[in-house]
Amino acid sequence: MRLPSIIALLVAAVATVEVSAQSTETIRKVPEKKQTSLGLYVTAKEAFEKWKAEPEQVKVLDVRTPEEYTFVGHPEMAWNIPFLFMTHQWDEEKDWYALRPNREFVAQVKEWAEPKDTLLVMCRSGDRSAKAVDALAKAGFTNVFTIFDGMEGDPVKDPENLYDGKRMKNGWKNSGLPWTYKVDRERAWVPK
């Protein structure tokens, strides 16, 4: 074997190891409650770049409630199909509004996307999107990524910081990515 061929093989082997190490590192950084059965993860920044590279093939799915999608804002290209609905009843145990599942979630996604499509799924911070990805995986979808830092990101955990407890770390909004409050009726979930 000639020296240039050996060098080319070594370079390819090193590149493969680096990619594997990066993939393992990304998985290690994903908290357990945000992990999915498909194991496909992107940050908000990576999701935007993935969509921007192939906007006709990559779809962004926002699974937050219609209230969140409308009043917190959403990525300009995102479609809203809620995974859960707010009931407007108080949950004493959670000290928050009770949520109920959207029993039509998978069927509604199937009206919009094919199981082979590339979907980038987001919620507020990555928990619901992981559950939505698992529901879609059970229905035969195979190329579904969770945006594990979500729309609002993770809370700052520093009592000395003005934003302690606020979702000001990472996420779509905090990454300087394009978002809007304007609701496009074609892309938003509207009850029938």
Instruction: Give the pLDDT score at 28.
Output: 55
Give pLDDT, residue 138: 98
Query: What's at 17, amino acid-wise?
Result: V
pLDDT attached to residue 169: 87
Q: What is the pLDDT of residue 1?
A: 53
Residue 192 confidence (pLDDT): 77
Tell me what pLDDT residue 2 has. Answer: 56
Query: What distance in Å separates the CA atoms of residue 76 and residue 87, rounded to the nearest whole number?
Result: 26
* pTM more than 0.85: no
- pLDDT for position 20: 39
Q: What angle do the packed helices 127-138 and 105-112 form, to 10 degrees?
A: 80
The pLDDT of residue 9: 47
Return phi, psi of residue 44, to 5°.
-60, -45
Buried b (16+ CB within 10 A) or exposed e, 106-125: beebeeebeeebbbbbbbbb
Q: Residue 116 has what pLDDT?
A: 96
Which pLDDT tens digits describe the chain residue by residue (192 residues)? 555 555 444 444 444 443 433 444 455 589 999 999 999 999 999 999 999 999 999 999 999 999 999 999 999 999 999 999 999 999 999 999 999 999 999 999 999 999 999 999 999 999 999 999 999 999 999 999 999 999 999 999 999 999 999 898 899 999 999 999 999 999 999 887
In a 13 Å sphere around the CA of 26, the CA atoms on its Cβ side amount to: 16
Q: So what's the pLDDT on residue 54?
A: 97
Q: Provide the pLDDT for residue 191.
A: 82
